[in-house]
Amino acid sequence: MDNQSISPRQFMFLVILFTVGSSILIVPSPLAIQAKQDAWISISISVLAGLLLTLFYNQVAKQMQNKTFVQATIYAFGNWVGRFLLVFYLSFLFILGALVLRNIGDFMTTEIIPQTPLQYTHILFLLVVIWGAFLGLEVLGRSAEMFMPWVVLFLLLFIFALLSEVNIENLQPYLGDGFTPVFSASTVVIGTPFLELVIFLMITPYVKDPKTKQRAWIIGVLVGGIILTMITLFCILVLGSDLTALNASPSYQVAQRINIADFLEGLEVVIGIIWMLTIFFKLAIIYYSVSIGVAQFLTMDDHRPLLLPLGMGMIVLSIIAYPDVAYFETFVSETWFPYALTHGLILPVIVWVGLMIRGMIERKKNNKKSNSQSS
Amino acid sequence: MNVVIKRGYFLITVLLCGALLSGCWDSDELDELGIVVAAGIDKTEDDEYLLVTQVINPSEIATEAPTTRPPASTYSTTGKTLLEAFRKMTHKSPRKMYLSQLRLVVIGKDLAEEGIMQPLDLFYRDHEFRTGFYVTISKETDVETLLSILTPYEKIPANKLMHSIEAVEENHGSSHGITIDELITQIRNKGQNPVITGLLMEGPAESGTNISNVENIDAPTKITIDHLGVLKGDQLVGWMNEDESLGYNYTQGDINSSVVTHPCSEGTAGIEILRGDNNMGVTFENDEPSISIELNLEGNIAEIDCPVDLSQADVIQQLNQQTEEEITRLIEESIAINQNEFETDIFGFGDLIHRKNPKYWKTVENNWDEQFKELVVEIQVKVELRRKGSATQPITKES
């Protein structure tokens, strides 16, 4: 594997972009269906849960000691059991990649270019992603640094241009239906994106400076979570919870409301750059992680020969993953959370425990050795 | 990396770009689109939709030497669904209808009485529509005639209507433009029913559709913005008059600027309302809600021919009080007609109760319109006339 490395700052940007990407489109609607006007409370709860998860992931990363998740699992459980566990982990990442690809494809074909076949949107988008993964993590990190100001700029434009459309009454009554729907809605956001953050266990070993990288990860999740909360909050403040729930991509609908002094209108596609950029980075991170994961799984020296074959698989999977949008909506609100929980929490716990046991065994061995040497 | 491989990748990229960029599925050339600015919907006798579109005539709009052709054309078709009707329109129009620039939808009276939610689905669902257009009801005329009237001053009739709605809203306050997403939210909301702008044609239809209509200095046929129609759910149940519409807009805080006329001892005074804020509250007594509306308005004396001495502070006080009484009357009339005749809560009192007391709301939400009839509403208007313009006294007053 090539010895690429990124700075903690670049890592933080990647975490932010990953957290925002695709969730920005798909999260507000299911939240508003369940939690109504309290959707922003649900998402705040999810951000807290995301921060706790990140603390845990940092512990796992510490135990992994400069190995990627794939290498560490093989190290902890041996060749066969380790690889058995990794089949689940890698398939999770691969399916996640296909779904994220489908998100952008569905969005484009619903709102912007309905006549264009889905496959071509996917192929064109994935080609750029493959190119990014081909160039490697360093290039992705540096381009994240370059594009971050644009994302921030458009977000600020989005927020300030919409301030005049805000209606505080849309948030009332607070907790009108009690806490139950608020909590049950928050699982949607915990599932996507926070449990997906498990993917960064493939990236952390390549981050320089072990001391600050933990903090970078946490700050990244926090900032990404705040952006998601703001977007959801604005959807409800501007559209009201009813229209937010009724709409397939409410954040885009909100952007249509932007009207600066009656002549700057129709900015939604410009605002759409936010999701193009964030989804690109999310997909690029997933794609890079999957390819180096598979390469390490197969003990290959280079991940690059895998890029095109994996891409073909991903495009096919993204088309057949679900037949229609209604299927997808049930999938996001019901199936994804338990699926992501299994692979984003239970699997890392198993590996974490395995790594600790392996660590103890190694230490005992070393102790015995040094004892026998000294005696 | 190997130079040959690098060149290979470059070549592949170039070839892919060529292959993928040459075919654009969604390309729409400007000269192949008919830009729809207004759409009218109604029911035909055999229960199909009648769809009328007003399409701008770009060569007339963008030219420096206009010909005698009209600046817009209308087409009409029927269909079992609106989409079918839109697509059938290509039989008559040389271009595909392009809908992103839609300014206004006019709904026929018969369809409005039957329910408007069903036809609005397409307008909300289809990606080509943006959500900022107004929905209106044609009060007397059929939609086809209404959309075929040529308007002076503004070349495109749909633009004239949109600007008129906004101008009335800003300067008089006796009407209110409602956009499609507000309308859908309010229809779906159990605690507030929508109002909708009415459009009225004045003058004979025959002359209005002819270009000569706009060649007269006083166009014989005009379209005017009428007062508000009241909906119960998605069905039109009646029309408010000017006073009631004004009263409604006062309760909603939608008055930007308005005029209050009231008689004084021997003459009339015209008061210009400049700004104001409103406050709606709900209090509960023995589990019975009562609504209070508080208005604080600021205004000027704009026109007066009463024999009063405007330099006296108590005269101004008296005018304040008379204005307050007049506005209170408007609001009371508006609430009365909705409670007694239309039996529909267009004021959002139900929504207010929902926001302030969700538990109580749960018990009444399913027959709210019945509860609304019994609701007690207290109105408190406070008017402060601060200035009287450039004249210190009524000019009819002898000094």
Domains and CATH numbers, chain B: 30-239 (no CATH), 249-387 (3.30.300.210)
Q: What is the pLDDT, as a whole number, of residue B19?
A: 65
If DSSP codes are grouped into helix, strand and coil, which group holds residue B8? helix
- A169: nearest CB among B24, B188, B355: B355
- Asked if omega into A28 is within 30° of 0 (cis), the reply is no
**Residue A296 to chain B, least CA–CA distance (Å):** 22
Residues of B in contact with A127 (CB under 8 A): 16
Whether residues B127 and A110 touch (CB distance < 8 A) is answered with: yes
Burial (0-12, 13-18, 19+ Cβ within 10 Å), B15? exposed
Q: Are B53 and B39 in contact (CB under 8 A)?
A: yes
Greater confidence, B139 or A175?
A: B139
Residue from B6, B24, B131 to probe the interface with A (highest A Cβ count within 10 Å): B131
Alpha-carbon separation of residue B294 from A334, B199, B382, B398 (angstroms) = 46, 31, 8, 39
Residues of A in contact with B26 (CB under 8 A): 112-116
Record the tokens describing residue B174, joined without a space: 């006796």
Report which residue type is found at A306.
L
Residue from A110, A116, A122, A325 to probe the interface with B (highest B Cβ count within 10 Å): A116
Count of domains for chain A: 1
Q: Is A308 on the interface with B (CB under 8 A)?
A: no
Percentage, residues of chain B above pLDDT 70: 96
Residues of A in contact with B25 (CB under 8 A): 113, 115-117, 120
User: pLDDT-derived band of residue A295, with 50, 70 and 90 as boundaries?
Assistant: very high
Q: What is the pLDDT, as a whole number, of residue A139?
A: 92
Q: Are B51 and B40 in contact (CB under 8 A)?
A: yes
**What does chain A come to in residues?**
375
Handedness of CA B110, B113, B116, B118 (dihedral sign): negative
**Residue B216 to chain A, least CA–CA distance (Å):** 31
Res B355 pLDDT > 90: no
Tell me which of A313-322, B364-373, B390-399 is least confident.
B390-399
List residues bridging with B56 in a β-sheet.
B72
Report which residue type is found at B239.
W
Whether residues A116 and B355 touch (CB distance < 8 A) is answered with: no
In the block, residue with structure tokens 């709860």: A45
User: pLDDT-derived band of residue A228, with 50, 70 and 90 as boundaries?
Assistant: very high
Q: Which of residues 167-196 of A touch B (CB under 8 A)?
A: 169, 172-173, 176-177
Query: Which residue is closest to B121 within chain A, CA to CA?
Result: A246
Whether residues B358 and A257 touch (CB distance < 8 A) is answered with: no
If DSSP codes are grouped into helix, strand and coil, which group holds residue B128? coil
Res B21 pLDDT > 70: no
Neighbouring C-alpha atoms within 13 Å toward the C-beta of B171: 7
The answer to whether residue A2 is domain-embedded is no
- The Cα angle at residue A200 between residues A198 and A206, in degrees rounded to 5: 150
Tens digits of residue pLDDT in A75-103: 888 889 999 999 999 999 999 999 999 98
User: pLDDT-derived band of residue B171, with 50, 70 and 90 as boundaries?
Assistant: confident
- Among A82, A95, A297, A293, which Cα is nearest to A206's? A293
**Residue B88 to chain A, least CA–CA distance (Å):** 19
Q: Is A118 on the interface with B (CB under 8 A)?
A: no
- B26: nearest CB among A116, A177, A259: A116
Q: Is B150 on the interface with A (CB under 8 A)?
A: no
List residues bridging with B232 in a β-sheet.
B235
Q: What is the pLDDT, as a whole number, of residue B222?
A: 86
The answer to whether residue A14 is domain-embedded is yes
Whether residues A243 and B184 touch (CB distance < 8 A) is answered with: yes
Beta strands in B24-133 (DSSP E): 33-43, 49-56, 72-79, 96-98, 104-107
Q: Are A110 and B127 in contact (CB under 8 A)?
A: yes
Torsions phi, psi of A64, nearest 5?
A: -75, -20
The Cα–Cα gap between A280 and A273 comes to 10
Q: Which of residues 164-203 of B touch A (CB under 8 A)?
A: 181, 184-185, 188-189
**Residue A66 to chain B, least CA–CA distance (Å):** 27
Whether residues B358 and A259 touch (CB distance < 8 A) is answered with: no
Whether residues B26 and A239 touch (CB distance < 8 A) is answered with: no
- Among B83, B185, B194, which Cα is nearest to A250's? B185
**Residue B359 to chain A, least CA–CA distance (Å):** 8
Tell me which of A10-24, A322-336, B229-243 is least confident.
A322-336
Q: Are B78 and B85 in contact (CB under 8 A)?
A: yes
The answer to whether residue A12 is domain-embedded is yes
- The Cα angle at residue A334 between residues A328 and A340, in degrees rounded to 5: 95
**What does chain B come to in residues?**
399
Report which residue type is found at A152.
V
Record the tokens describing residue B32, joined without a space: 């192949």
Tens digits of residue pLDDT in A113-163: 888 888 888 988 898 899 999 998 999 999 999 999 999 998 898 888 888
Is beta strand B33-43 parallel, antiparallel or unpaired with respect to B96-98?
parallel
The answer to whether residue A3 is domain-embedded is no
Whether residues B127 and A240 touch (CB distance < 8 A) is answered with: no
Q: What is the pLDDT, as a whole number, of residue A2?
A: 55
The Cα–Cα gap between A356 and A60 comes to 10
**Residue A117 to chain B, least CA–CA distance (Å):** 8
Residues of B in contact with A114 (CB under 8 A): 26, 127
- Asked if omega into B58 is within 30° of 0 (cis), the reply is no
If DSSP codes are grouped into helix, strand and coil, which group holds residue B110? helix
- The Cα angle at residue A99 between residues A95 and A105, in degrees rounded to 5: 145
Q: Are B50 and B143 in contact (CB under 8 A)?
A: yes
Whether residues B132 and A117 touch (CB distance < 8 A) is answered with: no
Tens digits of residue pLDDT in B241-293: 888 888 888 888 877 788 888 777 777 888 888 888 888 888 888 878 888 88
Sequence-separated (6 or more) residues with CB below 8 Å from residue B162: B103, B104, B134, B177
Residues of B in contact with A113 (CB under 8 A): 25-26
Residue from A243, A254, A267, A307 to probe the interface with B (highest B Cβ count within 10 Å): A243
Report which residue type is found at B42.
D
**Residue B317 to chain A, least CA–CA distance (Å):** 35
The answer to whether residue A237 is domain-embedded is yes
The Cα–Cα gap between B195 and B229 comes to 5
Res B323 pLDDT > 90: no
User: pLDDT-derived band of residue B29, with 50, 70 and 90 as boundaries?
Assistant: confident
3-state secondary structure chain A: CCCCCECHHHHHHHHHHHHHCCHHHHCHHHHHHHHHHHHHHHHHHHHHHHHHHHHHHHHHHHHHCCCCHHHHHHHHHHHHHHHHHHHHHHHHHHHHHHHHHHHHHHHHHHHHCCCCCHHHHHHHHHHHHHHHHHHCHHHHHHHHHHHHHHHHHHHHHHHHHHHHHCCHHHHCCCCCCCCHHHHHHHHHHHHCCHHHHHHHHHCHHHECCHHHHHHHHHHHHHHHHHHHHHHHHHHHHHHHHHHHHHCCCHHHHHHHCCEECCCEECCHHHHHHHHHHHHHHHHHHHHHHHHHHHHHHCCCCCCHHHHHHHHHHHHHHHHHCCCCHHHHHHHHHHHHHHHHHHHHHHHHHHHHHHHHHHHHHHHHHHHHHHHHHHC
Question: Stretch B62-86: mean pLDDT, rounded?
Answer: 83
Q: Are B342 and B239 in contact (CB under 8 A)?
A: no
Whether residues B354 and A173 touch (CB distance < 8 A) is answered with: yes
Whether residues B358 and A173 touch (CB distance < 8 A) is answered with: yes
Res A225 pLDDT > 90: yes
The Cα–Cα gap between B369 and B388 comes to 43
Record the tokens describing residue B197, joined without a space: 């702008």
Q: Which of residues 258-277 of A touch B (CB under 8 A)?
A: 259, 265-266
The Cα–Cα gap between B209 and B227 comes to 24
Q: Are A267 and A16 in contact (CB under 8 A)?
A: no
Residues of A in contact with B127 (CB under 8 A): 110-112, 114
Whether residues B181 and A172 touch (CB distance < 8 A) is answered with: no
User: pLDDT-derived band of residue A45, with 50, 70 and 90 as boundaries?
Assistant: very high
Whether residues B132 and A123 touch (CB distance < 8 A) is answered with: no
**Which 8-state DSSP code applies to residue B179?**
B
| CATH, residue A141 | 1.20.1740.10
Whether residues B25 and A123 touch (CB distance < 8 A) is answered with: no
Which residue range is the domain that position A47 belongs to?
8-374
Residues of A in contact with B181 (CB under 8 A): 239, 243
**Which 8-state DSSP code applies to residue B213?**
G
Whether residues A124 and B20 touch (CB distance < 8 A) is answered with: yes
Res B15 pLDDT > 80: no
- Among A226, A229, A238, A263, which Cα is nearest to A164's? A238
Torsions phi, psi of B202, nearest 5?
A: -115, 135
Alpha helices in chain B (DSSP H): 3-21, 58-61, 82-88, 109-114, 117-125, 143-147, 157-171, 180-188, 205-208, 242-251, 313-337, 349-356, 358-364, 368-374
Angle between helices A180-191 and A39-64 (to 10 degrees): 40
The Cα–Cα gap between B394 and B214 comes to 40
The Cα–Cα gap between A94 and A312 comes to 12
Alpha-carbon separation of residue A272 from A220, A266, A267, B21 (angstroms) = 22, 11, 8, 21
The answer to whether residue A200 is domain-embedded is yes
**Residue B274 to chain A, least CA–CA distance (Å):** 20
Radius of gyration from C-alpha coordinates of chain B: 27
CB pairs under 8 A between A and B: 51
Query: Which residue is closest to A127 within chain B, CA to CA?
Result: B13
Res A1 pLDDT > 60: no
Record the tokens describing residue B109, joined without a space: 């009276």
CB atoms within 10 A of CB B81: 15
Whether residues A265 and B132 touch (CB distance < 8 A) is answered with: yes
**Which 8-state DSSP code applies to residue B200?**
E
Neighbouring C-alpha atoms within 13 Å toward the C-beta of A203: 32
Q: Which of residues 343-362 of B touch A (CB under 8 A)?
A: 354-358
Greater confidence, B51 or B310?
A: B51
The Cα–Cα gap between A167 and A170 comes to 6
- A113: nearest CB among B25, B355, B357: B25
The Cα–Cα gap between A157 and A159 comes to 6
**Residue B338 to chain A, least CA–CA distance (Å):** 24
Report which residue type is found at B376.
V
